[in-house]
Amino acid sequence: MYNGEKLDPKAFIAVQVKEIQEQVGDDVVILGLSGGVDSTVTAVLVNRAIGDRLQCIFVDHGLLRKNEFEDVLAYYEKMGLNVKGVRAADRFFAACKGITDPELKRKAIGKTFIDVFAEEARKVQNAKWLAQGTIWPDIAESHSDKGTIKSHHNVGGLPEDLKFGLVEPLKYLYKYEVREVGAELGLDSYILGRHPFPGPGLGVRCLGELTPEKIAILQEADKIWIDNLREAGLYDKVWQAAAIFVPVKTTGIADGRRTYDNVIALRAVNSIDAVTAQIVHLPWDFLDKVQDEIIAKVKGVNRVVYDISSKPGATIEWE
């Protein structure tokens, strides 16, 4: 915990359930799920306190990993959460049309997210509270005085008519403690063992203007990358892995003919808190297998590179 106390997950859950019940009474609470550890643990905890009076909203911005929306939605339903999946990819692509600047892109994605979320929130009767998966490093980081390096978005910027009270049961915990609470709540490694994934999703891993075609290419390459890490037993040894679509055309060769296609960059880093990160020294044979599979299977890609940059110097995400 932020104050140095050791966490007892069982006792923590009991105390939080009681506090949430007292805080919200008979009101309805809404929560935006992202597929990540923090929002999922928050949802299961609040659900334990007030059952179906927690209404979760899971927005598909079209920038999730391949099959992620369907898979995660099914998992949430299996966990007994009252969740509404909202498909809004077209709106996000429309909002990002013509934008190439990374910060403007982040802002466009963030604003569209808030618009979609607010529309859904307005439909929920009696909603007076917003539950969020804020954790201690989020609070600590937002007090940094060195200026914004990247704009992160959450649903903090909702319009005036949607002034909810906040329910943030994890706000004094570190990430590893959130995982302990999640395990005690019965969540498995499908959620708890996930690599961090940015709110704007593949939008910050697809350089330049976002189009459904580029994202589809990136989703295919990313799936090959992540599946290979899992199959080789490397996924859990890496803190975060990403594939990046680099819209730079280079010459290649396929079936004896010249090709002129895009680049995919692979990134795998180790970190403790995302403030610094070091590249993972993956075996060359493994990387060779992955490049082979990506170039053979993903149309539109004829070159794969491995990003060897540390943070700081570089950031983890490319945008």
**Which two tokens mark 131?**
């539950």
Q: Contact, 27 vs 129, CB < 8 A?
A: yes
Regarding 201 and contact with ligand XMP (CB under 6 A), the answer is no
DSSP secondary structure string for all residues of 144-198: --S--SS----GGG--GGG-PEEE-TTTT--HHHHHHHHHHTT--HHHHTPPP--
Query: Which of 132, 302 has the CB closer to ligand XMP?
Result: 132
Regarding 199 and contact with ligand XMP (CB under 6 A), the answer is yes
Provide the minimum distance between the beta carbon of 148 and ligand XMP in the complex, in angstroms, as a whole number. 11
Provide the minimum distance between the beta carbon of 2 and ligand XMP in the complex, in angstroms, as a whole number. 19
Four-point Cα dihedral 118, 113, 183, 275, nearest 10: -130
Point out which span in 120-128, 191-199, 246-254, 291-299 binds ligand XMP (CB under 6 A): 191-199
Query: Which of 240, 262 has the CB closer to ligand XMP?
Result: 240
Provide the minimum distance between the beta carbon of 196 and ligand XMP in the complex, in angstroms, as a whole number. 4
Regarding 311 and contact with ligand XMP (CB under 6 A), the answer is yes
Query: Which of 12, 117 has the CB closer to ligand XMP?
Result: 117
Rounded to 5°, the CA angle 172-202-146 comes to 50
Site for ligand XMP in 33-72 (CB under 6 A): none
The region that residue 274 occupies, defined by phi over 0 for left and psi between -120 and 50 for alpha, beta otherwise, is left
Point out which span in 66-74, 159-167, 195-203, 213-221 binds ligand XMP (CB under 6 A): 195-203
Q: Which of 37, 198, 219, 225 binds ligand XMP (CB under 6 A)?
A: 198
Regarding 175 and contact with ligand XMP (CB under 6 A), the answer is no
Regarding 316 and contact with ligand XMP (CB under 6 A), the answer is yes
**Which two tokens mark 314?**
């570089």
- Per the DSSP assignment, residues forming a β-bridge with 262 are 301
Regarding 91 and contact with ligand XMP (CB under 6 A), the answer is no
**Which two tokens mark 136?**
């201690």
Q: For ligand XMP, what does the binding mask look like between residues 228 and 247, x meaning CB under 6 A? A: ------------x-------
Rounded to an integer, what distance in angstroms lies between the CA atom of residue 216 and that of residue 65?
9
Regarding 196 and contact with ligand XMP (CB under 6 A), the answer is yes
Site for ligand XMP in 256-295 (CB under 6 A): 274
Q: Crossing angle for the helix pair 175-184 and 9-24, nearest 10 degrees? A: 90
Residue 66 CA to chain centroid, in angstroms? 13
Q: For residue 312, say if its preceding peptide bond is cis, omega within 30 degrees of 0.
A: yes
Point out which span in 76-84, 171-179, 196-204, 293-301 binds ligand XMP (CB under 6 A): 196-204
How many residues interact with ligand XMP (rule CB under 6 A)?
13
Site for ligand XMP in 106-165 (CB under 6 A): 150, 152-153
How many CB atoms sit inside 10 A of residue 131's CB? 29
Please report, in angstroms and rounded to a whole number, the separation of the first and last CA atoms in the chain: 31
Q: HEC states along 280-297?
A: CCCCHHHHHHHHHHHHHH
Which positions touch ligand XMP (CB under 6 A)?
150, 152-153, 196, 198-200, 240, 274, 311, 315-317
